[in-house]
């Protein structure tokens, strides 16, 4: 159990770092699908080894939502945008370095939690928290609407992993509500993106700066 | 029973309004407003008689704090809902209006903190389309910022919720009701204090985003100024208060687990930050609705300050201030919508001579502004006095003096703006105001209530505030 959860969480974090590094949108979308699949596998593994059949259901819903439905919506949202954002001279080095720093920060911040955790999956809690922090970072520094949404979803995935590793998942009612919320957020975002593209002929957030003091 | 009716009324209305025809929609809308208000009164009555009202095996639970919020939400929803009769609005508008009210009511009446989180996130999702109702470039930008910032903020609150659940399950094993507030409160003294403190930081930042506390307030002025007037009234009047409500529930837990000092210091810090940001803008506001929006940042900051100061005066003052602010701000937003209808703009430099062009609306707006500025005989004067008094009493003189200074800056700026728009010669393009009983009565009632909380407290108010303070804990 300890080894399996550590390995899968580590793999999930590695994919998250790759997400920070990749620039091409289709590549990032594929990495997001991979990350979601890894986390679904993590949920299924924890559910199987800990004898919690409910987690298998959660893993199935998570897989369907985050690795299939939402990526399809994202794909639709991105239709017609250039594969690479046109921003010469911007490399991923600094972003990757920051993400590395966030991993260290995650270990420090979450210390009180790991110190009092007794579940066999506790060792991987900082890895999940690091995923969440990196997702937050991606969301805040995103240059266009797609970057924001993808960062938010990675953030959400990290929190899912955190809840899974720290507590074997939240009560079913809450989990279901969270899945519904995420789906509605993404669908609303799609509606907003359609309108932004109609108004501005681009989805860069540089256009969204009329409301200033 | 009354709790279920309270939630069903707006939810059913939202479902019925989607396919309803125009004439029928008005009837359903009016009936839903009346039913929600009646159920809210029933819940409040139940709480007065039995202390708590419970439904669905404890999943829904209303205590004094919930009842206070339920009453406010129903009251402001009625004020705002009546205004939508004169606004041209499609049926999706009314359906989402009631869905929005439903999510707010669910957030304050559920005992399950996980479900509360889902409901608070639901408030954002239900109102995004309403913010973007005019479908202009500006409203689109406001809706996008609102959706993104509040979703991220609320996700941070989810991290906090997970950490609280972790602390709980770690100590007492997986229990079906582990995320119930009543369960948490019972076990709080044995929870690991460091984990609960860490969780509270996430929760305060997350729900603080919804409450419009600086530095997470950046979505607020845009969303409040671009939304239709009735939605601005709901958002400013009660949505922000729902954010504070969520913080309060967790504050009670963290106070027991880690001692009261931790939450207090954080709340005072965020309160002063909010008041500073607001005062900087309010010194010379540019748009009427942005001025009202920043004033919400200021007042919610003051509420946070009162909760941070604590003590019987601080808590009661903050709770009362939430209600006073809701009444005053909702009224002002509705009136600003009427001013926009006549002038075609809310730019402070262009709106002149409102009292001459719109004698009724203009005077009501001036009265509402004087109430908002904290002048007697209106209730905000009393609640501000209680909060600032608590600051001195509980040993925070420097923070109190700073807050007083910031209040004065905002006072000066807003008084100047009020003078500018009230007097002078009205612009030639300004139309005429339409005075109807249906438009005047709600505004008069709200201002009347504000005088009541300022001059003569109705019987039972002292007892109600004391009960709420007992729920929140000093």
B154-188 residue pLDDT tens: 999 999 999 999 999 888 877 778 899 999 999 99
Cβ contact B239:B121 at 8 Å: no
Nearest to B141 among A132, A170, A208 (CB): A208
pLDDT at B22: 74
Same domain, B275 and B247: no
C-beta atoms of A188 and B135 within 8 A: no
Closest approach of A27 to chain B, Cα-based (Å): 23
Same domain, B215 and B280: no
A38-97 confidence digits (pLDDT tens): 999 999 999 999 888 999 999 999 999 999 999 999 999 888 777 665 555 566 788 999
In a domain? residue A86: no
Q: Do A166 and B194 touch (CB under 8 A)?
A: no
B250 and B286 inside one domain: no
Which residue intervals of B344-460 are DSSP H helices?
A: 354-357, 359-372, 379-393, 397-422, 437-455
Enumerate residues 139 to 178 of chain A having a beta carbon within 8 A of any beta carbon in chain B.
139-140, 145, 148, 152, 155-156, 159, 162-163, 166-168, 170-171, 173-174, 177-178
Phi (first) and psi of residue A127, to 5 degrees = -65, -45
In a domain, A33, yes or no: yes
- Same domain for B312 and B196? no
Specify whether B81 is located in the same domain as B160.
yes
Per-residue pLDDT, A196: 85
Same domain, B189 and B300: no
Residue B229 CA neighbour count, 13 Å, CB half: 26
Radius of gyration of chain B (CA): 21
Query: In the predicted model, what is the mean pLDDT of residues A98-123?
Result: 92
Calculate ∠ Cα B102-B103-B105, nearest 5°: 65
Final residue before a domain boundary, out of B204, B230, B258: B258
Peptide bond into B324 cis (omega under 30): no
- Asked if residue A164 lies in contact with residue A131, where contact means CB atoms within 8 angstroms, the answer is no
- The enclosing H or E element of B281 equals helix B261-282
Residue A212 lies in a domain: no
In this complex, do A181 and B192 lie within 8 Å of one another by their Cβ atoms? no
What single DSSP character describes residue B360?
H
Cβ distance of B152 and A174 shorter than 8 Å: no
From residue B63, alpha-carbon distances to B45, B46, B70 in Å are 11, 9, 10
Question: What pLDDT sits at residue B54?
Answer: 94
Residue B474, pLDDT > 60, answer no
CA distance A178 to B154: 11
Cβ of B170 within 8 Å of Cβ of A156? The answer is no
Residue A171 belongs to some domain of the structure: yes
What tokens appear for B354 in the block?
């409102």
CA distance A113 to B171: 12
Q: Report how far residue B92's alpha carbon sits from residue A42's, in angstroms, rounded to the nearest whole number.
A: 41
Domain-ending residue, one of B239, B258, B277: B258
If one counts the domains in chain B, the total is 2
DSSP string covering B223-236: HHHHS-HHHHHHII
Q: b or e along B28-39 (b: 16 or more beta carbons within 10 Å of the residue's beta carbon)?
A: bbeebbebbbeb
B310 phi/psi in degrees, rounded to 5: 70, -160
> For residue A213, is it within any domain?
no
Residue B397 backbone phi and psi in degrees, to 5: -65, -40
| Structural domain boundaries enclosing B21 | 1-258
Range of the domain at A99: 2-80+93-205
Looking at the structure, tell me whether residues B219 and B359 fall in a common domain: no
CA separation for the pair A79, A58 (Å, rounded): 30
Domain count, chain A: 1
Q: Which residue of A has its CA nearest to B180?
A: A171
Helices (H), B110-226: 113-131, 137-172, 181-187, 193-211, 219-226
Do both B242 and B292 map to the same domain?
no
Residue-wise pLDDT for A146-165, tens only, equals: 899 999 999 999 999 999 99
- Answer yes or no: do B286 and B243 share one domain: no
Same domain, B374 and B337: yes
**A36 falls within a domain:** yes
* Residue at which a domain ends, from B213, B238, B258: B258
Task: Cite the beta strand spans of A103-196 per DSSP E.
Answer: none
* Nearest CB neighbour to A159, from listed B143, B162, B195: B162
């Amino acid at each position: 159990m300890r080894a399996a959860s550590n390995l899968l969480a580590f793999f999930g974090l590695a994919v998250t770092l790759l997400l920070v590094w990749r620039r091409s949108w289709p590549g990032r979308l594929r990495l997001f699908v991979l990350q979601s699949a890894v986390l679904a596998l993590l949920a299924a593994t924890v559910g199987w080894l800990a004898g919690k059949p409910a987690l298998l259901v959660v893993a199935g819903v998570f897989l369907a939502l985050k690795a299939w439905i939402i990526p399809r919506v994202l794909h639709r949202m991105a239709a017609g945008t250039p594969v690479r954002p046109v921003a010469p001279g911007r490399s991923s080095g600094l972003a990757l370095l920051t993400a590395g720093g966030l991993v260290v920060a995650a270990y420090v911040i979450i210390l009180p939690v790991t110190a009092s955790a007794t579940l066999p999956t506790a060792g991987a809690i900082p890895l999940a928290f690091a995923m969440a922090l990196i997702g937050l970072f991606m969301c805040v520094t995103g240059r266009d609407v797609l970057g924001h949404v993808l960062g938010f979803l990675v953030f959400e995935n990290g929190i899912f992993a955190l809840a899974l590793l720290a507590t074997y998942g939240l009560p079913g009612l809450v989990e279901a509500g969270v899945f519904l919320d995420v789906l509605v957020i993404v669908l609303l975002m799609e509606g907003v993106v359609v309108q932004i593209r109609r108004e501005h002929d681009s989805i860069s957030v540089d256009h969204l700066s009329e409301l200033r003091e | 029973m009354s709790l279920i009716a309270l939630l069903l009324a707006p939810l059913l209305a939202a479902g019925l309004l989607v396919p309803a025809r125009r004439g029928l929609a008005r009837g359903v809308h009016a009936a839903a407003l009346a039913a929600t208000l009646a159920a809210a009164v029933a819940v409040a009555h139940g709480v007065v008689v039995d202390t708590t009202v419970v439904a669905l095996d404890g999943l829904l639970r209303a205590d004094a704090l919930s009842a206070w919020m339920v009453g406010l939400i129903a009251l402001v929803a009625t004020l705002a809902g009546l205004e939508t009769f004169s606004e041209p609005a499609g049926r999706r508008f009314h359906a989402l209006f009631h869905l929005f009210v439903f999510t707010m009511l669910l957030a304050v009446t559920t005992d399950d903190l996980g479900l509360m989180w889902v409901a608070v996130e639901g408030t954002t999702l239900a109102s995004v389309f309403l913010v973007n109702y005019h479908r202009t470039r500006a409203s689109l930008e406001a809706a996008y910022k609102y959706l993104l910032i509040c979703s991220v903020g609320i996700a941070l609150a989810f991290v906090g919720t997970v950490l609280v659940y972790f602390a709980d399950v770690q100590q007492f094993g997986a229990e079906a009701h582990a995320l119930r507030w009543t369960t948490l409160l019972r076990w709080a003294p044995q929870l690991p204090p460091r984990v609960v403190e860490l969780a509270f930081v996430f929760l305060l930042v997350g729900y603080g985003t919804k409450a419009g506390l600086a530095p997470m307030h950046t979505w607020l002025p845009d969303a409040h100024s671009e939304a239709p007037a009735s939605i601005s009234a709901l958002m400013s009047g009660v949505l922000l208060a729902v954010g504070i409500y969520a913080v309060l529930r967790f504050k009670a837990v963290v106070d027991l687990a880690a001692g009261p000092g931790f939450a207090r210091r954080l709340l005072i810090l965020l309160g002063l930050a909010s008041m500073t940001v607001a005062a900087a803008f309010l010194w010379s506001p540019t748009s009427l609705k942005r001025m009202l929006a920043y004033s919400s940042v200021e007042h919610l900051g003051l509420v946070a300050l009162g909760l941070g100061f604590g003590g019987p005066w601080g808590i009661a003052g903050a709770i009362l201030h939430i209600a006073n602010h809701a009444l005053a701000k909702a009224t002002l937003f509705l009136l600003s919508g009427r001013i926009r209808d006549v002038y075609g703009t809310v730019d402070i430099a262009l709106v002149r001579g409102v009292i001459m062009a719109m004698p009724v609306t203009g005077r009501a707006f001036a009265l509402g502004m004087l109430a908002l500025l904290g002048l007697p005989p209106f209730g905000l004067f009393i609640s501000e006095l209680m909060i600032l008094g608590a600051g001195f009493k509980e040993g925070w003189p420097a923070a109190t003096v700073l807050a007083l200074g910031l209040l004065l800056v905002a006072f000066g700026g807003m008084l100047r703006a009020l003078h500018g728009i009230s007097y002078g010669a009205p612009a030639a393009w300004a139309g005429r105001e339409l005075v109807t009983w249906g438009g005047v009565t709600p505004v008069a009632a709200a201002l009347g209530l504000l005088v009541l909380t300022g001059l003569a407290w109705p019987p039972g108010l002292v007892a109600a505030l004391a009960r709420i303070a007992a729920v929140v804990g000093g």
